[in-house]
Chains A and B, each alone.
Chain A
Protein backbone atom coordinates (compact mmCIF):
# COMPACT_ATOMS: atom_id res chain seq x y z
CA UNK A 1 0.00 0.00 0.00
CA UNK A 2 2.57 2.56 1.09
CA UNK A 3 4.83 1.41 -1.76
CA UNK A 4 2.02 2.10 -4.14
CA UNK A 5 1.42 5.58 -2.75
CA UNK A 6 5.15 6.26 -2.89
CA UNK A 7 5.21 5.29 -6.56
CA UNK A 8 2.61 7.99 -7.25
CA UNK A 9 4.74 10.78 -5.76
CA UNK A 10 7.02 11.48 -8.75
CA UNK A 11 4.04 11.75 -11.10
CA UNK A 12 2.23 13.93 -8.61
CA UNK A 13 5.22 16.27 -8.50
CA UNK A 14 5.49 16.30 -12.31
CA UNK A 15 1.80 17.13 -12.68
CA UNK A 16 2.08 19.97 -10.18
CA UNK A 17 4.97 21.43 -12.20
CA UNK A 18 2.94 21.08 -15.41
CA UNK A 19 0.04 22.90 -13.78
CA UNK A 20 2.05 25.79 -12.33
CA UNK A 21 4.05 26.26 -15.53
CA UNK A 22 0.87 26.45 -17.60
CA UNK A 23 -0.70 28.74 -15.03
CA UNK A 24 2.02 31.31 -15.62
CA UNK A 25 0.88 31.45 -19.23
CA UNK A 26 -2.87 30.83 -19.03
CA UNK A 27 -3.65 32.20 -15.60
CA UNK A 28 -1.50 35.31 -15.65
CA UNK A 29 -1.25 36.41 -19.26
CA UNK A 30 -4.65 34.98 -20.24
CA UNK A 31 -3.30 33.12 -23.27
CA UNK A 32 -5.22 29.83 -23.23
CA UNK A 33 -2.97 27.14 -24.65
CA UNK A 34 -3.63 23.47 -25.33
CA UNK A 35 -0.03 22.67 -26.24
CA UNK A 36 1.53 22.06 -22.84
CA UNK A 37 1.41 18.30 -23.41
CA UNK A 38 3.39 18.68 -26.63
CA UNK A 39 6.04 20.85 -24.95
CA UNK A 40 6.23 18.18 -22.28
CA UNK A 41 6.72 15.66 -25.10
CA UNK A 42 9.57 17.66 -26.61
CA UNK A 43 11.30 17.53 -23.22
CA UNK A 44 10.60 13.80 -22.88
CA UNK A 45 11.71 12.80 -26.39
CA UNK A 46 14.65 15.19 -26.30
CA UNK A 47 15.89 13.80 -23.00
CA UNK A 48 15.31 10.19 -24.10
CA UNK A 49 17.16 10.61 -27.39
CA UNK A 50 20.09 12.49 -25.86
CA UNK A 51 20.44 10.00 -23.03
CA UNK A 52 20.05 6.77 -25.01
CA UNK A 53 21.74 7.66 -28.31
CA UNK A 54 24.25 10.31 -27.37
CA UNK A 55 24.86 8.79 -23.95
CA UNK A 56 24.62 12.12 -22.24
CA UNK A 57 24.03 12.05 -18.48
CA UNK A 58 20.26 12.09 -17.96
CA UNK A 59 20.29 15.31 -15.92
CA UNK A 60 22.12 17.16 -18.71
CA UNK A 61 19.85 15.55 -21.31
CA UNK A 62 16.78 16.83 -19.48
CA UNK A 63 18.17 20.35 -19.20
CA UNK A 64 19.11 20.50 -22.90
CA UNK A 65 15.76 19.06 -23.95
CA UNK A 66 13.93 21.58 -21.77
CA UNK A 67 15.87 24.45 -23.34
CA UNK A 68 14.96 23.07 -26.75
CA UNK A 69 11.28 22.94 -25.73
CA UNK A 70 11.58 26.58 -24.64
CA UNK A 71 13.17 27.61 -27.94
CA UNK A 72 10.46 25.81 -29.92
CA UNK A 73 7.86 27.63 -27.82
CA UNK A 74 9.61 30.93 -28.53
CA UNK A 75 9.58 30.32 -32.27
CA UNK A 76 5.91 29.32 -32.19
CA UNK A 77 4.97 32.37 -30.16
CA UNK A 78 6.95 34.69 -32.43
CA UNK A 79 4.76 33.48 -35.29
CA UNK A 80 1.42 33.90 -33.54
CA UNK A 81 1.98 36.70 -31.00
CA UNK A 82 -0.38 39.06 -32.81
CA UNK A 83 -3.36 36.69 -32.67
CA UNK A 84 -6.36 37.47 -30.51
CA UNK A 85 -7.29 35.15 -27.66
CA UNK A 86 -9.64 32.79 -29.49
CA UNK A 87 -7.39 32.45 -32.50
CA UNK A 88 -4.48 31.81 -30.19
CA UNK A 89 -6.19 28.73 -28.71
CA UNK A 90 -6.53 27.30 -32.22
CA UNK A 91 -2.92 28.13 -33.02
CA UNK A 92 -1.75 26.36 -29.86
CA UNK A 93 -3.90 23.37 -30.86
CA UNK A 94 -2.13 23.34 -34.23
CA UNK A 95 1.26 23.52 -32.48
CA UNK A 96 0.20 20.56 -30.35
CA UNK A 97 -0.94 18.52 -33.36
CA UNK A 98 2.23 19.27 -35.35
CA UNK A 99 4.50 18.13 -32.55
CA UNK A 100 2.55 14.93 -31.92
CA UNK A 101 2.73 14.23 -35.67
CA UNK A 102 6.51 14.57 -35.42
CA UNK A 103 6.60 12.17 -32.45
CA UNK A 104 4.55 9.67 -34.48
CA UNK A 105 6.13 10.05 -37.89
CA UNK A 106 9.81 10.79 -37.36
CA UNK A 107 10.37 7.11 -36.73
CA UNK A 108 14.15 7.25 -37.25
CA UNK A 109 14.44 9.26 -34.05
CA UNK A 110 11.26 8.66 -32.08
CA UNK A 111 10.58 5.07 -33.11
CA UNK A 112 7.03 6.08 -34.04
CA UNK A 113 4.05 4.63 -32.23
CA UNK A 114 6.23 2.02 -30.51
CA UNK A 115 7.97 4.78 -28.61
CA UNK A 116 11.33 4.86 -26.91
CA UNK A 117 12.31 2.61 -24.03
CA UNK A 118 15.31 2.00 -21.82
CA UNK A 119 15.48 5.63 -20.77
CA UNK A 120 17.82 5.84 -17.77
CA UNK A 121 16.34 6.73 -14.38
CA UNK A 122 17.14 10.03 -12.69
CA UNK A 123 20.71 10.45 -11.54
CA UNK A 124 23.05 13.30 -10.86
CA UNK A 125 26.85 13.01 -11.14
CA UNK A 126 26.63 9.24 -11.12
CA UNK A 127 24.42 9.03 -8.03
CA UNK A 128 21.32 7.27 -9.28
CA UNK A 129 17.95 7.55 -7.59
CA UNK A 130 17.39 3.82 -7.55
CA UNK A 131 14.93 3.28 -4.71
CA UNK A 132 11.33 4.44 -4.74
CA UNK A 133 12.11 6.83 -1.92
CA UNK A 134 15.05 8.37 -3.77
CA UNK A 135 12.95 8.65 -6.91
CA UNK A 136 10.17 10.40 -5.00
CA UNK A 137 12.64 12.77 -3.31
CA UNK A 138 14.34 13.62 -6.60
CA UNK A 139 11.04 14.47 -8.24
CA UNK A 140 9.91 16.52 -5.25
CA UNK A 141 13.17 18.48 -5.14
CA UNK A 142 13.32 19.17 -8.89
CA UNK A 143 9.64 19.96 -9.38
CA UNK A 144 9.42 21.70 -6.01
CA UNK A 145 12.28 24.09 -6.75
CA UNK A 146 10.94 24.91 -10.20
CA UNK A 147 7.43 25.38 -8.83
CA UNK A 148 8.79 27.74 -6.17
CA UNK A 149 10.57 29.66 -8.91
CA UNK A 150 7.30 29.95 -10.82
CA UNK A 151 5.58 31.13 -7.63
CA UNK A 152 8.36 33.71 -7.26
CA UNK A 153 7.80 34.88 -10.84
CA UNK A 154 4.08 35.01 -10.09
CA UNK A 155 4.63 37.57 -7.34
CA UNK A 156 6.81 39.89 -9.36
CA UNK A 157 6.26 43.06 -11.37
CA UNK A 158 6.67 40.79 -14.38
CA UNK A 159 3.51 38.91 -13.35
CA UNK A 160 1.75 42.22 -12.86
CA UNK A 161 2.49 43.06 -16.50
CA UNK A 162 1.22 39.64 -17.59
CA UNK A 163 -2.06 40.21 -15.77
CA UNK A 164 -2.38 43.73 -17.16
CA UNK A 165 -1.84 42.48 -20.74
CA UNK A 166 -4.64 40.01 -20.19
CA UNK A 167 -7.01 42.92 -19.49
CA UNK A 168 -5.78 45.34 -22.16
CA UNK A 169 -2.76 44.94 -24.41
CA UNK A 170 -3.14 48.48 -25.69
CA UNK A 171 -3.29 49.83 -22.15
CA UNK A 172 -0.14 47.93 -21.19
CA UNK A 173 1.68 49.16 -24.31
CA UNK A 174 0.68 52.75 -23.49
CA UNK A 175 2.46 52.33 -20.15
CA UNK A 176 5.64 51.28 -21.93
CA UNK A 177 5.31 47.52 -21.63
CA UNK A 178 6.69 45.47 -24.51
CA UNK A 179 3.67 43.23 -24.87
CA UNK A 180 5.06 41.07 -27.68
CA UNK A 181 8.40 40.53 -25.95
CA UNK A 182 6.70 39.52 -22.74
CA UNK A 183 4.39 37.10 -24.55
CA UNK A 184 7.44 35.44 -26.10
CA UNK A 185 9.27 35.13 -22.80
CA UNK A 186 6.31 33.76 -20.86
CA UNK A 187 5.50 31.17 -23.50
CA UNK A 188 9.13 30.09 -23.73
CA UNK A 189 9.53 29.75 -19.97
CA UNK A 190 6.25 27.90 -19.64
CA UNK A 191 7.23 25.49 -22.43
CA UNK A 192 10.73 24.97 -21.02
CA UNK A 193 9.35 24.04 -17.60
CA UNK A 194 6.89 21.65 -19.24
CA UNK A 195 9.99 20.27 -21.00
CA UNK A 196 11.65 19.60 -17.64
CA UNK A 197 8.47 17.87 -16.46
CA UNK A 198 8.50 15.78 -19.64
CA UNK A 199 12.18 14.86 -19.34
CA UNK A 200 11.71 13.85 -15.74
CA UNK A 201 8.62 11.86 -16.68
CA UNK A 202 10.54 9.97 -19.36
CA UNK A 203 13.34 9.25 -16.95
CA UNK A 204 11.07 8.06 -14.11
CA UNK A 205 8.82 5.87 -16.24
CA UNK A 206 11.53 4.64 -18.62
CA UNK A 207 9.34 4.29 -21.72
CA UNK A 208 7.44 6.90 -23.72
CA UNK A 209 5.03 6.84 -26.65
CA UNK A 210 3.42 9.71 -28.60
CA UNK A 211 0.08 9.24 -26.89
CA UNK A 212 1.60 10.23 -23.54
CA UNK A 213 1.81 13.75 -24.94
CA UNK A 214 -1.27 14.04 -27.12
CA UNK A 215 -3.97 16.64 -26.89
CA UNK A 216 -5.72 14.71 -24.10
CA UNK A 217 -2.69 15.35 -21.92
CA UNK A 218 -2.76 19.06 -22.79
CA UNK A 219 -6.44 19.30 -21.94
CA UNK A 220 -5.85 17.45 -18.68
CA UNK A 221 -3.30 20.09 -17.71
CA UNK A 222 -5.82 22.82 -18.56
CA UNK A 223 -8.30 20.94 -16.36
CA UNK A 224 -5.85 21.15 -13.43
CA UNK A 225 -6.15 24.92 -13.80
CA UNK A 226 -9.91 25.00 -14.16
CA UNK A 227 -10.41 22.90 -11.05
CA UNK A 228 -7.72 24.46 -8.91
CA UNK A 229 -8.38 28.07 -9.83
CA UNK A 230 -6.87 29.81 -12.83
CA UNK A 231 -4.35 32.40 -11.71
CA UNK A 232 -3.77 30.97 -8.22
CA UNK A 233 -0.50 29.00 -8.04
CA UNK A 234 -1.40 26.98 -4.94
CA UNK A 235 -4.85 26.41 -6.36
CA UNK A 236 -3.62 24.88 -9.61
CA UNK A 237 -1.15 22.70 -7.68
CA UNK A 238 -4.09 21.43 -5.63
CA UNK A 239 -6.09 20.92 -8.82
CA UNK A 240 -3.26 18.86 -10.31
CA UNK A 241 -3.06 16.72 -7.18
CA UNK A 242 -6.81 16.09 -7.08
CA UNK A 243 -7.26 15.30 -10.74
CA UNK A 244 -4.21 13.07 -10.83
CA UNK A 245 -4.90 11.17 -7.63
CA UNK A 246 -8.65 10.68 -7.88
CA UNK A 247 -8.67 8.39 -10.95
CA UNK A 248 -5.45 6.67 -9.83
CA UNK A 249 -6.92 5.75 -6.49
CA UNK A 250 -10.21 4.66 -8.04
CA UNK A 251 -8.23 2.36 -10.28
CA UNK A 252 -6.03 1.06 -7.51
CA UNK A 253 -8.76 0.29 -5.04
CA UNK A 254 -10.75 -1.48 -7.73
CA UNK A 255 -13.90 0.58 -7.33
CA UNK A 256 -14.66 -0.33 -10.92
CA UNK A 257 -13.45 -3.43 -12.71
CA UNK A 258 -10.23 -3.08 -14.65
CA UNK A 259 -11.75 -3.13 -18.12
CA UNK A 260 -13.80 0.00 -17.37
CA UNK A 261 -11.05 1.94 -15.63
CA UNK A 262 -9.97 3.95 -18.68
CA UNK A 263 -13.46 5.10 -19.69
CA UNK A 264 -14.41 5.75 -16.06
CA UNK A 265 -11.36 7.99 -15.67
CA UNK A 266 -12.35 9.96 -18.76
CA UNK A 267 -15.88 10.34 -17.40
CA UNK A 268 -14.51 11.58 -14.08
CA UNK A 269 -12.31 14.16 -15.82
CA UNK A 270 -15.18 15.33 -17.98
CA UNK A 271 -17.64 15.51 -15.12
CA UNK A 272 -15.28 17.32 -12.77
CA UNK A 273 -14.42 19.90 -15.42
CA UNK A 274 -18.09 20.43 -16.29
CA UNK A 275 -19.08 20.81 -12.64
CA UNK A 276 -16.37 23.39 -12.01
CA UNK A 277 -16.95 25.39 -15.18
CA UNK A 278 -20.68 25.57 -14.44
CA UNK A 279 -20.78 25.95 -10.68
CA UNK A 280 -17.43 27.39 -9.70
CA UNK A 281 -15.66 28.90 -12.70
CA UNK A 282 -13.06 30.56 -10.47
CA UNK A 283 -11.90 27.12 -9.25
CA UNK A 284 -11.12 25.95 -5.72
CA UNK A 285 -8.81 28.83 -4.84
CA UNK A 286 -9.53 32.02 -6.81
CA UNK A 287 -6.96 34.49 -8.09
CA UNK A 288 -5.80 37.05 -5.57
CA UNK A 289 -4.30 40.49 -5.99
CA UNK A 290 -0.53 40.59 -6.02
CA UNK A 291 -0.02 43.90 -4.27
CA UNK A 292 -1.91 44.64 -1.11
CA UNK A 293 -1.70 47.98 0.53
CA UNK A 294 -1.72 48.38 4.28
CA UNK A 295 -4.15 46.42 6.38
CA UNK A 296 -5.97 44.59 3.66
CA UNK A 297 -9.15 43.70 5.52
CA UNK A 298 -9.76 47.11 6.99
CA UNK A 299 -8.97 49.01 3.83
CA UNK A 300 -11.16 46.67 1.90
CA UNK A 301 -14.07 47.15 4.30
CA UNK A 302 -13.73 50.93 4.22
CA UNK A 303 -13.61 50.81 0.44
CA UNK A 304 -16.72 48.66 0.26
CA UNK A 305 -18.68 51.05 2.44
CA UNK A 306 -17.46 53.95 0.34
CA UNK A 307 -18.29 52.12 -2.86
CA UNK A 308 -21.75 51.28 -1.58
CA UNK A 309 -22.34 54.95 -0.83
CA UNK A 310 -20.88 55.93 -4.17
CA UNK A 311 -23.16 53.62 -6.10
CA UNK A 312 -26.10 54.94 -4.11
CA UNK A 313 -25.57 58.32 -5.73
CA UNK A 314 -25.92 57.21 -9.30
Chain B
Protein backbone atom coordinates (compact mmCIF):
# COMPACT_ATOMS: atom_id res chain seq x y z
CA UNK B 1 0.00 0.00 0.00
CA UNK B 2 1.07 3.51 -0.76
CA UNK B 3 0.74 6.16 1.87
CA UNK B 4 -2.40 8.25 1.55
CA UNK B 5 -0.21 11.19 0.66
CA UNK B 6 1.01 9.53 -2.53
CA UNK B 7 -0.81 10.80 -5.61
CA UNK B 8 -3.30 8.45 -7.24
CA UNK B 9 -2.45 9.87 -10.64
CA UNK B 10 0.86 11.47 -11.57
CA UNK B 11 1.63 13.05 -14.91
CA UNK B 12 5.19 14.15 -15.60
CA UNK B 13 6.49 16.31 -18.41
CA UNK B 14 3.69 15.62 -20.86
CA UNK B 15 4.21 17.08 -24.31
CA UNK B 16 1.84 16.57 -27.21
CA UNK B 17 2.57 17.80 -30.71
CA UNK B 18 0.15 17.84 -33.62
CA UNK B 19 2.45 18.35 -36.56
CA UNK B 20 4.13 21.68 -35.83
CA UNK B 21 1.63 22.71 -33.19
CA UNK B 22 2.47 22.07 -29.56
CA UNK B 23 -0.84 21.32 -27.83
CA UNK B 24 0.77 20.49 -24.51
CA UNK B 25 4.22 21.51 -23.29
CA UNK B 26 5.94 19.80 -20.39
CA UNK B 27 2.76 19.53 -18.31
CA UNK B 28 2.88 17.81 -14.93
CA UNK B 29 0.11 17.29 -12.44
CA UNK B 30 -0.80 15.22 -9.38
CA UNK B 31 -4.20 14.02 -8.36
CA UNK B 32 -4.32 13.00 -4.71
CA UNK B 33 -6.75 10.35 -3.54
CA UNK B 34 -10.02 11.58 -2.08
CA UNK B 35 -9.78 15.02 -3.63
CA UNK B 36 -11.40 16.97 -6.42
CA UNK B 37 -8.86 18.38 -8.84
CA UNK B 38 -9.88 20.80 -11.56
CA UNK B 39 -8.20 21.83 -14.80
CA UNK B 40 -9.12 25.26 -16.10
CA UNK B 41 -7.95 27.44 -18.93
CA UNK B 42 -9.26 29.23 -21.98
CA UNK B 43 -10.42 27.39 -25.09
CA UNK B 44 -7.57 25.70 -26.85
CA UNK B 45 -5.38 25.74 -23.74
CA UNK B 46 -4.95 21.97 -23.98
CA UNK B 47 -7.27 20.85 -21.20
CA UNK B 48 -9.04 18.11 -23.14
CA UNK B 49 -5.74 17.00 -24.67
CA UNK B 50 -4.27 16.63 -21.20
CA UNK B 51 -7.32 14.66 -20.06
CA UNK B 52 -7.05 12.45 -23.16
CA UNK B 53 -3.42 11.69 -22.36
CA UNK B 54 -3.85 10.90 -18.67
CA UNK B 55 -6.88 8.71 -19.43
CA UNK B 56 -4.93 6.74 -22.01
CA UNK B 57 -6.85 7.91 -25.09
CA UNK B 58 -3.94 9.80 -26.65
CA UNK B 59 -0.27 8.91 -26.51
CA UNK B 60 1.96 11.88 -25.62
CA UNK B 61 5.07 12.77 -27.61
CA UNK B 62 7.00 12.87 -24.31
CA UNK B 63 6.34 12.30 -20.67
CA UNK B 64 4.87 9.69 -18.41
CA UNK B 65 1.66 8.95 -16.59
CA UNK B 66 1.45 6.84 -13.47
CA UNK B 67 -1.70 5.56 -11.82
CA UNK B 68 -1.20 4.08 -8.36
CA UNK B 69 2.47 4.12 -9.24
CA UNK B 70 1.99 1.97 -12.37
CA UNK B 71 3.09 3.21 -15.76
CA UNK B 72 -0.04 3.81 -17.83
CA UNK B 73 1.23 4.59 -21.28
CA UNK B 74 1.30 2.03 -24.05
CA UNK B 75 -1.74 0.26 -22.64
CA UNK B 76 -4.96 -0.04 -24.63
CA UNK B 77 -7.49 2.58 -23.60
CA UNK B 78 -10.08 -0.04 -22.69
CA UNK B 79 -7.82 -1.42 -19.97
CA UNK B 80 -8.00 1.83 -18.00
CA UNK B 81 -11.44 1.08 -16.59
CA UNK B 82 -10.22 -2.25 -15.26
CA UNK B 83 -7.37 -0.47 -13.48
CA UNK B 84 -9.82 1.82 -11.75
CA UNK B 85 -10.14 4.92 -13.87
CA UNK B 86 -13.08 6.01 -15.98
CA UNK B 87 -13.90 9.15 -17.91
CA UNK B 88 -16.57 11.09 -19.74
CA UNK B 89 -16.16 12.99 -22.98
CA UNK B 90 -16.86 16.57 -23.89
CA UNK B 91 -19.29 15.49 -26.59
CA UNK B 92 -20.90 13.10 -24.09
CA UNK B 93 -20.87 9.91 -26.23
CA UNK B 94 -24.15 8.49 -24.98
CA UNK B 95 -25.17 5.30 -26.73
CA UNK B 96 -28.12 7.01 -28.34
CA UNK B 97 -30.17 3.99 -29.40
CA UNK B 98 -29.74 2.23 -26.08
CA UNK B 99 -32.15 3.14 -23.32
CA UNK B 100 -30.93 5.18 -20.36
CA UNK B 101 -31.00 2.04 -18.20
CA UNK B 102 -28.98 0.11 -20.80
CA UNK B 103 -26.41 2.91 -21.01
CA UNK B 104 -25.76 2.62 -17.29
CA UNK B 105 -26.08 -1.18 -17.07
CA UNK B 106 -23.34 -1.48 -19.67
CA UNK B 107 -20.91 0.26 -17.34
CA UNK B 108 -21.59 -2.00 -14.35
CA UNK B 109 -18.57 -4.30 -14.00
CA UNK B 110 -19.09 -8.03 -14.37
CA UNK B 111 -17.22 -10.43 -16.61
CA UNK B 112 -20.01 -13.02 -16.71
CA UNK B 113 -22.14 -12.64 -19.80
CA UNK B 114 -19.79 -10.20 -21.48
CA UNK B 115 -18.10 -12.83 -23.63
CA UNK B 116 -19.37 -15.78 -25.64
CA UNK B 117 -17.23 -18.10 -23.52
CA UNK B 118 -18.89 -17.13 -20.25
CA UNK B 119 -22.30 -17.22 -21.90
CA UNK B 120 -21.67 -20.84 -22.85
CA UNK B 121 -19.91 -22.04 -19.72
CA UNK B 122 -21.76 -20.01 -17.08
CA UNK B 123 -25.28 -19.32 -18.39
CA UNK B 124 -26.84 -18.88 -14.97
CA UNK B 125 -24.20 -16.50 -13.68
CA UNK B 126 -24.40 -14.61 -16.94
CA UNK B 127 -28.14 -14.12 -16.48
CA UNK B 128 -27.71 -13.07 -12.86
CA UNK B 129 -25.00 -10.65 -13.89
CA UNK B 130 -27.33 -9.10 -16.45
CA UNK B 131 -30.10 -8.70 -13.88
CA UNK B 132 -27.75 -7.21 -11.31
CA UNK B 133 -26.46 -4.75 -13.87
CA UNK B 134 -29.99 -3.59 -14.64
CA UNK B 135 -30.88 -3.29 -10.94
CA UNK B 136 -27.74 -1.30 -10.27
CA UNK B 137 -28.45 0.91 -13.28
CA UNK B 138 -31.92 1.75 -11.97
CA UNK B 139 -30.48 2.57 -8.54
CA UNK B 140 -27.99 4.96 -10.09
CA UNK B 141 -30.57 6.59 -12.35
CA UNK B 142 -32.65 7.11 -9.22
CA UNK B 143 -29.66 8.61 -7.45
CA UNK B 144 -29.00 11.23 -10.12
CA UNK B 145 -32.72 11.90 -10.41
CA UNK B 146 -33.50 10.65 -13.90
CA UNK B 147 -35.05 7.25 -13.17
CA UNK B 148 -38.25 8.20 -14.99
CA UNK B 149 -36.31 8.13 -18.26
CA UNK B 150 -35.00 4.57 -17.69
CA UNK B 151 -36.70 3.06 -20.73
CA UNK B 152 -36.21 5.98 -23.08
CA UNK B 153 -33.57 5.83 -25.82
CA UNK B 154 -30.70 7.98 -24.56
CA UNK B 155 -30.49 9.91 -27.82
CA UNK B 156 -33.98 11.28 -27.31
CA UNK B 157 -33.26 12.75 -23.88
CA UNK B 158 -32.56 16.44 -23.33
CA UNK B 159 -28.97 17.61 -23.05
CA UNK B 160 -29.23 18.15 -19.31
CA UNK B 161 -30.60 14.65 -18.74
CA UNK B 162 -27.88 13.17 -20.94
CA UNK B 163 -25.24 14.88 -18.79
CA UNK B 164 -26.74 13.25 -15.70
CA UNK B 165 -26.86 9.96 -17.58
CA UNK B 166 -23.13 9.99 -18.29
CA UNK B 167 -22.52 10.83 -14.65
CA UNK B 168 -24.57 7.78 -13.62
CA UNK B 169 -22.66 5.72 -16.15
CA UNK B 170 -19.37 6.89 -14.69
CA UNK B 171 -20.52 6.04 -11.17
CA UNK B 172 -21.54 2.57 -12.38
CA UNK B 173 -17.97 1.72 -13.43
CA UNK B 174 -16.89 1.53 -9.78
CA UNK B 175 -13.64 3.16 -10.82
CA UNK B 176 -11.79 5.02 -8.09
CA UNK B 177 -10.62 7.89 -10.28
CA UNK B 178 -13.39 9.61 -12.22
CA UNK B 179 -12.41 12.02 -14.96
CA UNK B 180 -15.05 14.40 -16.30
CA UNK B 181 -14.62 16.54 -19.38
CA UNK B 182 -16.72 19.68 -18.92
CA UNK B 183 -19.46 18.18 -16.75
CA UNK B 184 -21.03 21.59 -16.21
CA UNK B 185 -21.08 22.83 -19.80
CA UNK B 186 -24.57 23.69 -20.96
CA UNK B 187 -26.25 22.97 -17.63
CA UNK B 188 -28.85 25.23 -16.07
CA UNK B 189 -28.23 26.80 -12.66
CA UNK B 190 -30.24 24.20 -10.70
CA UNK B 191 -28.65 21.30 -12.58
CA UNK B 192 -25.22 22.75 -11.83
CA UNK B 193 -26.04 22.75 -8.12
CA UNK B 194 -27.16 19.13 -8.43
CA UNK B 195 -23.96 18.26 -10.27
CA UNK B 196 -21.79 19.92 -7.62
CA UNK B 197 -23.70 18.03 -4.93
CA UNK B 198 -23.19 14.71 -6.69
CA UNK B 199 -19.49 15.34 -7.21
CA UNK B 200 -18.99 16.26 -3.56
CA UNK B 201 -20.91 13.22 -2.37
CA UNK B 202 -18.91 10.92 -4.65
CA UNK B 203 -15.74 12.03 -2.92
CA UNK B 204 -17.05 12.37 0.63
CA UNK B 205 -19.28 9.29 0.78
CA UNK B 206 -18.14 6.91 -1.93
CA UNK B 207 -14.40 7.48 -1.57
CA UNK B 208 -13.90 8.52 -5.19
CA UNK B 209 -11.26 10.83 -6.58
CA UNK B 210 -12.24 13.30 -9.26
CA UNK B 211 -10.29 15.09 -11.95
CA UNK B 212 -12.36 17.41 -14.09
CA UNK B 213 -12.08 20.01 -16.80
CA UNK B 214 -14.49 22.90 -16.85
CA UNK B 215 -14.97 26.44 -18.05
CA UNK B 216 -17.32 27.24 -15.26
CA UNK B 217 -15.25 29.20 -12.75
CA UNK B 218 -17.87 29.16 -10.07
CA UNK B 219 -18.21 25.38 -10.19
CA UNK B 220 -14.44 24.98 -10.15
CA UNK B 221 -13.78 27.35 -7.28
CA UNK B 222 -16.76 25.97 -5.37
CA UNK B 223 -15.92 22.31 -5.33
CA UNK B 224 -12.27 21.81 -6.28
CA UNK B 225 -9.64 21.14 -3.63
CA UNK B 226 -6.90 21.80 -6.11
CA UNK B 227 -6.84 23.74 -9.37
CA UNK B 228 -4.42 23.67 -12.28
CA UNK B 229 -4.47 26.50 -14.79
CA UNK B 230 -3.48 25.72 -18.36
CA UNK B 231 -2.54 28.41 -20.84
CA UNK B 232 -1.24 27.77 -24.36
CA UNK B 233 -0.51 24.17 -23.45
CA UNK B 234 1.48 24.99 -20.34
CA UNK B 235 0.48 24.65 -16.72
CA UNK B 236 1.01 28.17 -15.44
CA UNK B 237 -0.28 27.66 -11.92
CA UNK B 238 -1.46 25.00 -9.52
CA UNK B 239 -2.90 25.45 -6.06
CA UNK B 240 -5.97 25.70 -3.89
CA UNK B 241 -8.82 27.85 -5.20
CA UNK B 242 -7.74 30.61 -2.80
CA UNK B 243 -4.16 30.50 -4.08
CA UNK B 244 -5.32 30.54 -7.69
CA UNK B 245 -7.47 33.60 -6.98
CA UNK B 246 -4.41 35.37 -5.60
CA UNK B 247 -1.93 34.19 -8.24
CA UNK B 248 -0.36 37.08 -10.17
CA UNK B 249 0.41 35.12 -13.29
CA UNK B 250 -3.11 33.73 -13.51
CA UNK B 251 -4.40 37.22 -12.92
CA UNK B 252 -2.22 38.57 -15.73
CA UNK B 253 -3.36 35.93 -18.19
CA UNK B 254 -6.94 35.93 -17.23
CA UNK B 255 -8.34 38.12 -14.54
CA UNK B 256 -7.62 41.40 -16.23
CA UNK B 257 -9.49 39.94 -19.14
CA UNK B 258 -12.44 38.60 -17.27
CA UNK B 259 -14.65 39.48 -20.19
CA UNK B 260 -12.42 37.33 -22.36
CA UNK B 261 -12.90 34.44 -19.98
CA UNK B 262 -16.64 34.83 -20.09
CA UNK B 263 -16.79 34.93 -23.84
CA UNK B 264 -14.70 31.78 -23.84
CA UNK B 265 -17.11 30.07 -21.51
CA UNK B 266 -20.00 31.09 -23.70
CA UNK B 267 -18.31 29.86 -26.84
CA UNK B 268 -17.43 26.58 -25.20
CA UNK B 269 -20.95 25.78 -24.16
CA UNK B 270 -22.04 26.61 -27.67
CA UNK B 271 -19.69 24.28 -29.48
CA UNK B 272 -19.58 21.45 -26.97
CA UNK B 273 -23.29 21.18 -26.65
CA UNK B 274 -25.62 21.04 -29.52
CA UNK B 275 -29.17 20.21 -28.79
CA UNK B 276 -31.32 21.61 -26.09
CA UNK B 277 -28.98 23.65 -23.96
CA UNK B 278 -31.24 24.73 -21.18
CA UNK B 279 -29.38 27.76 -19.99
CA UNK B 280 -26.08 29.50 -20.51
CA UNK B 281 -23.46 28.67 -17.91
CA UNK B 282 -23.13 30.75 -14.81
CA UNK B 283 -21.91 34.33 -14.94
CA UNK B 284 -20.45 34.15 -11.46
CA UNK B 285 -16.95 35.06 -12.56
CA UNK B 286 -13.86 34.54 -10.52
CA UNK B 287 -14.78 36.49 -7.46
CA UNK B 288 -18.04 34.59 -6.99
Contact = CB atoms under 8 A, between A and B. Distances in A.
Interface in A250-294: 287, 289-294
B106 interface: yes
Interface stretch (B61-69, B152-160, B206-214, B234-242): B152-160
A158 B119 contact: yes
B72 to A, nearest CB: 14
Contact of A153 (B119, B130, B161, B276): B119
Interface string A162-190: 01101110111111111110000100010
A289 B78 contact: no
B249 interface: no
B47 interface: no
B87 A174 contact: yes
Given A164-B95, A313-B278, A299 B151 contact: yes
Given A158-B115, A176-B109, A167 B97 contact: yes
Contacts of B78: 172-174, 176-179
Contacts of B133: 157, 291
Interface residues of B, number: 56
Interface in B57-114: 57, 76-82, 86-89, 93-99, 101-103, 105-107, 109-110, 112-114
Interface of B: 55, 57, 76-82, 86-89, 93-99, 101-103, 105-107, 109-110, 112-116, 119, 126, 129-130, 133-134, 137-138, 148-153, 156-158, 161, 169, 173, 276-278
Given A174-B89, A287-B97, 16 more contacts: A157-B114, A157-B129, A158-B114, A163-B97, A164-B95, A167-B94, A167-B95, A168-B93, A173-B76, A174-B57, A174-B88, A176-B80, A289-B102, A290-B102, A293-B138, A303-B149
Interface of A: 152-153, 156-158, 160-161, 163-164, 166-168, 170-180, 185, 189, 287, 289-294, 296, 299-300, 302-304, 306-307, 310-311, 313-314
